[in-house]
Structure 1
Amino acid sequence: MARLLEAVLAISSELELNTALRTIVEVSADLVDARYGALGVLNEEGEFADLFTYGVSEEVYQAIGRLPTTHGLLEELMAHPRPLRVDDVPAHPGFREYPPGHPVMRTLLGTPILVRGTVYGNLYFADKRTGMPFTGDDERIVAALASAAGVAIENARLYERIRRNTEEFQRSLLPPLPALNGLAACARYLPSSSVPRIGGDWYDAIMLPDGVPCLMVGDVMGHDLRSATVMSQISNMLRVLAYEHCEPPSQILRRLDEILHALHGGPMATVLLARLEEEGDDAWRLRRATAGHLPPLLLPVEGRARYLRADGGHPLGVTPDLPRPDHQQVIPAGSTLLLYTDGLVEDPAHGLDRGMASLAHTADRLRDLPLEELCELLLAHGGADFTDDVALLAVRLGDPAALRGARA
């Protein structure tokens, strides 16, 4: 009984659908000591749309070359959706010859998996490792696991729908990037790979009235609808404040903090606000201030990638009266600047410093790629599983002299 409960727990713990299906067949096969196992997912026509196997090598799977058909013995599971136990497969009236390359199987135990009363797929096993036929206890175990599997599959499908809808909602709050004078820009948003949550990560870029590109990235604390709402309000207010007030970035952040305290009681958020001004014929001056946000990563034309570390100031929501410093650097044309949220560099196993070092190393190696490809590979460098949302804004600085020539 303890092993059965452990198997049910393993099946019920998976929320990603394909992982859940693989787990179902693997733990079930182990529990009944089967040499082979498979879970066939059925389509609307009652044929197999996908197959998850256990004990079948990739070479054998490729040699068979096709999904099994729901005929012969498997047809009985379709016609009579209840457990099926066969002690001598070749002697059964419904047996059909195995296709070339298919392992010879002597005994069979199968059961349908029902999701909301409809057959979702067939779970079946062949050949106990002891060489004995499957028993009545095996049949009862598999039936119990199939019942738990139906609930797990429904939960995984619900998880996928929620995740998809959450991501669509989050992306709808993020603006398209405008044309930025003299800059090439690319942005990406990637939701957390954990349980679907609405996040507060965002990016933005606008052209100011004086013709200066303005860049923003931020992260509101929390993962719920209120965080997403506050994120949308902060990004919109910051856009308006930056456009209306020709002031240093630190002063604009102070104005934003005061408004947030008045409207929301000071929600916690980090923000990086930057201006990129033309500096002579071949450089740009980056003016920036941060509210507790991580430093931008510079990929210069010459030299190694480096973080523009400086006093980050305090996050929004602490107190609007505390001053935040402004910082500036002259950056050569052709350089690339990366603004990001902490989800891109969080490394639960090794800490933030390790994650930032890894990002800098990867970006340094990929610096010459087109921006779109660079952004995709920077997201991929963290693997498939991000523990937090990620917002990434990348800009490549053009030639100011060429820009002025185009204006003339």
Structure 2
Amino acid sequence: MSDQDQPGRTEQPKVPDLRLQLDTELDEIGAQLQALADAKDRLQGLLGAVLAISGELDLSAVLRRIVTTAMELVGARYGALGVLHESGEYLKAFITAGLTETERADLGGVAFPHGRGVLGHLIHNPEPLRVDDIPSHPASAGFPPGHPPMRTLLGVAISVRGEIYGDLYLSERLDGRPFGPDDEDVVVALASAAGIAIENARLFGQVRDSAETFQRLLLPTLPDLSPFTAATVYRPADEPNRLGGDWYDAIVLPDDAVGIMIGDVGGHDLYAAAAMAQTHSMLRALLYDRRTPPSEILAQLDRTLHATAEVPVTTACLARIEPDPTGWVLRWSTAGHFPPLLISPDLETEYLHAEPGLPLGVSTGEHRPDHTRSLPAGSILLFFTDGLIEHPAHSIDVGLTALADLAATHATRPLHELVQVLADHHPSDGQDDMAILALRIPAGTRSPQLPA
């Protein structure tokens, strides 16, 4: 009897069949593990993208970051974010990413999309949209001349406070495949976080703009200082969440002198701006009321602030420009502030270095010296705060030299242009607010007239 005929015997799988089955199962496990790893990587990428978007406070930066992070998450070559008009009918802004310089040049002169064709379909039907062949879509209206070829599209609406804010568009995966359900899921999740980030940026922008407006309202409009001409400029810090305590002022005094003041209250918040308003108002009143030297006025201001207000350490420069038989003379005293810059008619520059004295709020018992200097007719006096020159990458002296060179180069311009150039091309890092006051010394010895 053969083995096949023996009862109770079952045929055993052959070794090659076992190996094939094992290989198949290992392949399936490997695919599952790879899928889990891919899902983990995508989740980590999504979390990183959300953190990156949430870390921005400037709205334009938030919108651009949304586009670029969405492209990275799904491996898209092109990305765009269309911001809806308040009517909800069309796009009022269109932020793009992924276009090469050549592609941008080819689209030169072509208006950005306003929401027609497939883009308009998403505006009016704000559900996630995946298109494998854009030209074949019923809503397709074609591309304008010069537009790079695009076949696939993934579109997701972005909502802010329950209202559609705009639409996020992605096109052309780098691997050539169409967008799939996983791509849609991750972009929908990103869009939810994007809506929160946009709202935060909008609210922050409103607070920042209101605070900056408040601070500008605290600064005076200069009166008529004839026969002097003067110009001022104030710039907030580049960092959007910082206020400042810088101020300037100039007034005609009862004895026909012109009073100049500039200062900087320590700190970068609403408290600093409020302290600036207190200090500025007190100093203006003391300067107008008293005929004492600038050092004595600063001393009285220091004592008054110490007794009546909690003001941070403050630097200030107080000056009087007085008529003199030979022209005009500058009398000034400083409380830890940078010296004025004098630009002569032949464009020579000189910082009026002198004993600076202690800042306000340090000690009310220390004397601050007064200084005197004759002013040539046609010269320019430049008063400024430290935000104009300070930079962590170089010394104060380097910043002062750069400012003097810049001022001399543009000193022949009208004063209002000069201060704008200094504010636009300052040697500082822009991380502090800055105030500038420039005054041109007239010819002759005629006293300034009181404003009408």
TM bin, normalised by shorter chain, reads over 0.9
Do the aligned residues in 2 keep the contact of 1:89 with 1:95 (CA within 8 Å)? yes
Q: What residue number does 2:31 align with?
A: none
Q: Give 1:351 deviation, angstroms.
A: 4.0
- Write the mapping of 1:151-162 to structure 2, written as runs, cut at 5 A: 151-162=196-207
Aligned: 1:10 with 2:52: yes
Aligned: 1:74 with 2:116: no
Instruction: State how far apart, in whole Å, the 2-side matches of 1:405 and 1:335 are.
Output: 16
Q: Give 1:259 deviation, angstroms.
A: 0.8
Provide the secondary structure at the position in 1 that maps to 2:401.
Answer: helix
Instruction: State how far apart, in whole Å, the 2-side matches of 1:219 and 1:387 are.
Output: 14
Do the aligned residues in 2 keep the contact of 1:284 with 1:332 (CA within 8 Å)? yes
Structure 1 unaligned residues grouped into runs of 5+: none
Aligned: 1:61 with 2:107: yes
- Write the mapping of 1:145-156 to structure 2, written as runs, cut at 5 A: 145-156=190-201
Q: What residue number does 1:298 align with?
A: 342
Q: Give 1:81 deviation, angstroms.
A: 1.4
Instruction: State how far apart, in whole Å, the 2-side matches of 1:12 and 1:378 are.
Output: 34
Q: Tell me the C-alpha RMSD between the 2 structures.
A: 2.1
Are residues 351 and 183 of structure 1, via their aligned partners in 2, closer, same or farther at CA, if it must alter by over 3 Å? same
Write out per-residue CA displacement over residues 190-228 of structure 1, whole angstroms, 9 at most, x where no aligned residue: 112213344211111111111000100011112333322
Q: What residue number does 2:286 align with?
A: 241
Normalising by structure 2, we get a TM-score of 0.85
Deviates more, 1:283-292 or 1:225-234: 225-234
Instruction: State how far apart, in whole Å, the 1-side matches of 2:50 and 2:444 are.
Output: 64
Are residues 5 and 49 of structure 1, via their aligned partners in 2, closer, same or farther at CA, if it must alter by over 3 Å? same
Q: Give 1:240 deviation, angstroms.
A: 1.6
Structure 2 unaligned residues grouped into runs of 5+: 1-42
Choose 1 or 2 for highest CA Rg.
Answer: 2
Q: What residue number does 1:89 align with?
A: 134
Are residues 320 and 31 of structure 1, via their aligned partners in 2, closer, same or farther at CA, if it must alter by over 3 Å? same
Do the aligned residues in 2 keep the contact of 1:25 with 1:39 (CA within 8 Å)? yes
Aligned: 1:307 with 2:338: no
Do the aligned residues in 2 keep the contact of 1:111 with 1:143 (CA within 8 Å)? yes
Q: What residue number does 1:192 align with?
A: 237
Instruction: State how far apart, in whole Å, the 2-side matches of 1:258 and 1:58 are.
Output: 63
Aligned: 1:36 with 2:81: no
Q: Give 1:76 deviation, angstroms.
A: 2.6
- Write the mapping of 1:214-229 to structure 2, written as runs, cut at 5 A: 214-229=259-274
Q: Give 1:87 deviation, angstroms.
A: 1.5
Q: What residue number does 2:407 align with?
A: 363
Instruction: State how far apart, in whole Å, the 1-side matches of 2:144 and 2:347 are.
Output: 61
Do the aligned residues in 2 keep the contact of 1:193 with 1:384 (CA within 8 Å)? no
Write out per-residue CA displacement over residues 225-283 of structure 1, whole angstroms, 9 at most, x where no aligned residue: 332222212112111211222111111111111111111256411110001122344x4
Normalising by structure 1, we get a TM-score of 0.93
Q: Give 1:189 deviation, angstroms.
A: 1.5
Q: Give 1:357 deviation, angstroms.
A: 2.3
Do the aligned residues in 2 keep the contact of 1:212 with 1:276 (CA within 8 Å)? yes
Are residues 405 and 382 of structure 1, via their aligned partners in 2, closer, same or farther at CA, if it must alter by over 3 Å? closer
Q: What residue number does 2:32 align with?
A: none
Q: What residue number does 1:164 align with?
A: 209
Instruction: State how far apart, in whole Å, the 2-side matches of 1:70 and 1:92 are.
Output: 15
Provide the secondary structure at the position in 2 that maps to 1:18.
Answer: helix
Q: What amino acid does structure 1 have at the position aligned with 2:173? A: K
Instruction: State how far apart, in whole Å, the 2-side matches of 1:219 and 1:274 are.
Output: 15
Do the aligned residues in 1 keep the contact of 2:382 with 2:438 (CA within 8 Å)? yes
Are residues 303 and 185 of structure 1, via their aligned partners in 2, closer, same or farther at CA, if it must alter by over 3 Å? closer
Q: What amino acid does structure 2 have at the position aligned with 1:32? A: V
Q: What residue number does 1:375 align with?
A: 419
Q: What amino acid does structure 1 have at the position aligned with 2:412? A: D
Q: Give 1:67 deviation, angstroms.
A: 2.2
Aligned: 1:320 with 2:364: yes
Q: What amino acid does structure 2 have at the position aligned with 1:375? A: V
Provide the secondary structure at the position in 2 that maps to 1:62.
Answer: coil
Instruction: State how far apart, in whole Å, the 2-side matches of 1:43 and 1:232 are.
Output: 40
Provide the secondary structure at the position in 2 that maps to 1:364.
Answer: helix
Q: What residue number does 2:14 align with?
A: none
Provide the secondary structure at the position in 1 that maps to 2:438.
Answer: strand
Do the aligned residues in 2 keep the contact of 1:269 with 1:317 (CA within 8 Å)? yes
- Write the mapping of 1:377-396 to structure 2, written as runs, cut at 5 A: 377-382=421-426, 386-396=430-440
Instruction: State how far apart, in whole Å, the 1-side matches of 2:447 and 2:253 are.
Output: 17
Do the aligned residues in 1 keep the contact of 2:403 with 2:427 (CA within 8 Å)? no
Q: Give 1:288 deviation, angstroms.
A: 0.5
Aligned: 1:176 with 2:221: yes
Q: Give 1:404 deviation, angstroms.
A: 5.7
Aligned: 1:349 with 2:393: yes
Instruction: State how far apart, in whole Å, the 2-side matches of 1:252 and 1:49 are.
Output: 55
Instruction: State how far apart, in whole Å, the 1-side matches of 2:182 and 2:292 are.
Output: 76
